[in-house]
Every structure is written in C-alpha cells, then in structure tokens.
Amino acid sequence: MPKKEKKAKTPLSDEEQLLLFQQKLLAEEEMAKKKERLLSQFLKDKLAKEEHNSALNLNKINTQWRTVLREVKTRELHKDIEILSQTFERVVDCKDNVIKSLAKDLSEAEEQYARALRSHLHNVDQLLALQRHRLSLLEESYNMELEALTKEFETERKTIIDQHEKEIHYLQDIFMAMEQNYIDSEYESKLEFQSMWNDLKNMNLEEKHFLRLHLENIVEDLWRKFQDVLKNYTDATEDRKAAFETLQVKDEKSSKEIEVQMKKIQKLQDAITISKGKIMIHSRESEDENRYIRNDKELVLVQLRKLKAQRTQARAASQKNLVKLTLESNATLKALRKIVDKGEKILKLAEICRKFETEEEKVLPFYSSVLTPKEQEGIEENNLEELTEELAKVMVDYTGMENFWKRYNKVKLEQLSLQHRRAQLLDINGKLREMLKQYLDGISVSDEVLSQLNPLFIVNYQSNLPQPLSIPIAHPGSTSPPAPWRDQRRSFFLGSS
C-alpha cells in the first residue's frame, strides 16, 4: 500500500503536462467557437429582425409618400385638364369653322360636277349618233363590195373547172396510148430474151462437160499430192494443231469478250454522243446564263461602287458626327462636372448652414408670407400677366423651386437686415465712443480740453454740448428686431417680391 501511494504522488512528466495543456487549449477553443457560433446566430437573428422591420417601415413610408405624390399629381392633372379643355374647345371651334367652309366648297363642287356630267352625257350622245351613222354607211359599202367579189369568184371558178376537165381528158388519152406501146415493146423483148437464153444454155452445157473431164483428171492428181502432203503435214503439225486448238478456244473466248467489249464500247459511244449533245445544249444554256450573270455582275459592281461611295460618305459623316459628339460630350462632361462640383459645394454649404440654424428654422424651414392680403392683391395687380400655355409649362417646371426661393429670400433678407443692423451698431458705437471721449475730456482738465466744448460748464441746467439722439438698443435675449427695422424689412420684402 505505501508503494502505491508513492506511485500516485509522483509528479507528471513533461509530455503528460503538454498533453494536458493541449487538451485544455482544445477545450477552451471549442468553448470560444461555441460562443462565437451563438453570438453569430444571435446577430443574424437580430439582423433579420432589423431587416424585416426596416422593410415594413420602408413600405409604410412609401405608401404614405405615394398618397402625398398622388394628391400632388391629381392637382397638377386637374390644372392640366382645365388648360387642355380650354385649348380643345378652341380647336373644336376652329375645326367647326373649317368643316362649314369645306361643306360649302363641297356643295359648290357637286353642282359643278353635275353641270359637267350633263354636258359630258350630251356630247357622248351626239358622238354615238355620229358613230352609228358612220357604221351604217360602212356596212352598205361592205355589202356592195362583197356582192361584186362573189360574182367575180363564181365566174373564175367556172372557167377553172372547165379547163381542168379538158386537161383530164387529154391526159387520159395520152395514158392509154403509152400503155399500148409499152405492151407491144414488152412482148418483143420477151421473145428476144428467150432465144438468147436457149443459145447460151447450150453453149454452157458443152463447155461444162469438157471442163468436168479435164478437171477430174487434175483433181485426181491433186488428191494424190494432197494426201501425201497431208500425211507429211499431219506428222509435222500435231503439236501445232494442239496449240492451235487451244488458241482457237482462247480466240473464241476473246472474240466473245471482244463482242461484249464492242457492245460496251458501242453503248459508251452512244452515251458519249448523247452526253456531247447534252454538253452542247448545256454549254449554250451556260453561255446564255454566263452572259446574264456577267450583265448582273456588272450591275452589281456598279451598285457596289455606288454603295462603297455611299459608305465612304456615311463613314465620313459618321466620323464628323463622332468628332462632334465627342466634343459635345466632353463639353457636357465638363459642364456636368462643374454642376456636380457646384452641387457638392452647395451641399457642403447647406451642411455648414444647417449647424447655424435656429430651432425655429429647423422646425419651420419655409416661412409664410408676412404680407397682408391687401398688399398681396396689390402685388398681384401689378404683376398681372396673361397665362399662356408656354408660361404655364414654365411655371410647372419651376414649381419645385418655390421652397428654395423662399429660403433664399429669407437668407437674403436676414443678410440685408444684419448688414443694416451692423451699420446701425457701428453708428451707435461711434456715437458712444464720442460720448465716452467727451465724458473723459470733462473729467480731465487740460488746455486742449478747455479750448473745446466742456460738459462741466452748465448754465441753467443745460450743458453746451449737443443733446444725443435716443438710440434703440436691442436686448441680448430678444430675437426680434426693433420696430423701425421691422418696417424697413417689410418695405424691402414688398420691393423684392
């Protein structure tokens, strides 16, 4: 037992400590990862809720803004509809006058057309009567000429038929005489031919008998010689005979092949002649087609030249337009950059001015008019002008600038009021300085002070100094200017409006 306790109390080795440290680190990393996962999930859920709420709020704002825009748009549309209705009534009146004038012109034109139609129909009837009379005269002359021609034709026909019959009888007589002469000459020639044939037959029989005897002797001699020569020949040409038979078989085969080939050649020649004929036909057709194609090619080349010229002109024009467009785009970009810089400057100045705005200006940035209704009516009577369509369009375009001009006028008025207030304060300051100087001069005694007016010299409760003007001084807590300044500000506003 004491040995086991010693073993349990033995310190851990470096490797075991390192393993334990690594296990602790892994556990800490897992805990940190779990915390990060939980935190990211919480943030995701919060972000989803915020997005959902922002979408709902945005939809609410959009719906309210749409209602406001619809009201503004309906007012504008009502004004536009009133203007358009007035213009439409004017246009309708003009159109009615035009339609009335056109109706008068149409009635006059219809009357003129009816008169012209009546005169035209009268002229047509006269022409038809003349044509019918002319046709009747032509028909009578045609019938008279036809009767004369039929009479001439009948007389000529009778004379031709009589002459034809006479010639037929004459030819029949000549034919009979010639036939009789031919029969007589034929009989005589047959008799002469029979006699000559008998004589020649007898002579030929005698010559034949003599030649038969002579030829039999010659044939016997030749047969003997032939038999001898045949034996010698057969003995000498047995090998050649076998070769000849083989060659004969080959010759038969080759002759058959030659016949087949000759038939093929004949077919090919026929096909060649047909194809030559087709080639000739196709060549003629192709020449015609080539001629048409050449003409089309020339026309296409002419059109191509024209199109190339047009393309060069269009390219030059497009190049000029591109140069012009680039110059104008550069100019517009510069102008837009200036406008953007100006807008940025204005926005920066607006942010700076926003810091110096009072609480009242932040709550009510656009002040209402300080003019009375009578003053407003007087201004409207002075600035009375006929409202034309172009002026209405211009006024609609500049309606969005009303609030801007209000704030600008307010700032301008405040600037002028501050300048005026500054001038007043400078004047007051100068007078106060002068009074202070006089007071200090009255306290101190010197030759220079005695030579000038002195407030210490008082006779009958009055000093020899001029009395100072009553100067209104504004309290530091009050924001409204004094009464004369208010009157002056009101007069300035009336003049600017």
pLDDT at 8 over 70: no
Could you report the per-residue pLDDT of 371-423, keeping only the tens digit for each? 667 766 776 666 555 556 776 776 776 676 777 777 778 788 888 999 999 99
Neighbouring residues of 484: CB distance < 8 A, sequence distance ≥ 6? 472
C-alpha span between 133 and 275 (Å, rounded): 69
Owner of token pair 């031709």 = 160
Can you give the pLDDT at residue 449?
Answer: 56
DSSP codes of every residue in 343-401? HHHHHHHHHHHHHT--HHHHH--SPPP-S-HHHHHHHHHHT-----HHHHHHHHHTGGG
CB 337, CB 459: distance < 8 Å: no
C-alpha span between 190 and 183 (Å, rounded): 11
Between 456 and 40, the higher pLDDT residue:
40
Q: Retrieve residue 301's tokens.
A: 């080349």
Between 456 and 11, the higher pLDDT residue:
11
CB 416, CB 492: distance < 8 Å: yes
DSSP codes of every residue in 135-165? HHHHHHHHHHHHHHHHHHHHHHHHHHHHHHH
C-alpha span between 21 and 28 (Å, rounded): 10
Neighbouring residues of 406: CB distance < 8 A, sequence distance ≥ 6? 366, 367
Can you give the pLDDT at residue 468?
Answer: 47
Cβ burial of 201 (10 Å; 0-12, 13-18, 19+) is exposed
Ordered alpha helix ranges (H), 2-13? 2-9
C-alpha dihedral sign at 218, 223, 228, 230: positive
C-alpha span between 382 and 495 (Å, rounded): 12
Neighbours of 442 (CB within 10 A): 16
3-state secondary structure of 462: strand
Chain center to CA of 453 = 97
Whole-prediction pTM value?
0.26
Neighbouring residues of 391: CB distance < 8 A, sequence distance ≥ 6? 385
Highest mean pLDDT among 109-118, 405-414, 466-475: 109-118
pLDDT-above-90 percentage for the chain: 5
Which residue, 413, 403, 400, 409, is CA-closest to 365?
403
Owner of token pair 């501050």 = 418
Report which residue type is found at 234.
T
Can you give the pLDDT at residue 187?
Answer: 81
Report which residue type is found at 382.
N
CB 481, CB 421: distance < 8 Å: yes
Average pLDDT value over all residues in the chain: 79
Can you give the pLDDT at residue 476?
Answer: 38
C-alpha dihedral sign at 145, 150, 151, 152: positive
C-alpha span between 439 and 437 (Å, rounded): 5
Q: Retrieve residue 357's tokens.
A: 């705005």
Could you report the per-residue pLDDT of 248-262, keeping only the tens digit for each? 888 888 888 888 888
CB 497, CB 371: distance < 8 Å: yes
3-state secondary structure of 459: strand
Can you give the pLDDT at residue 428?
Answer: 93
pLDDT at 72 over 70: yes
Could you report the per-residue pLDDT of 236-285, keeping only the tens digit for each? 777 777 777 888 888 888 888 888 888 888 888 888 888 888 888 888 88
**3-class SS letters over 271-324:** HHHHHHHHHHHHHHHHHHHHHHHHHHHHHHHHHHHHHHHHHHHHHHHHHHHHHH
Domain ranges for the chain = 21-172, 394-450
Angle between helices 238-355 and 14-236 (to 10 degrees): 150
Neighbouring residues of 497: CB distance < 8 A, sequence distance ≥ 6? 371, 379
Q: Retrieve residue 57's tokens.
A: 């709020």
CB 449, CB 441: distance < 8 Å: yes
C-alpha span between 488 and 494 (Å, rounded): 10
Q: Retrieve residue 291's tokens.
A: 């001629």
Can you give the pLDDT at residue 479?
Answer: 42
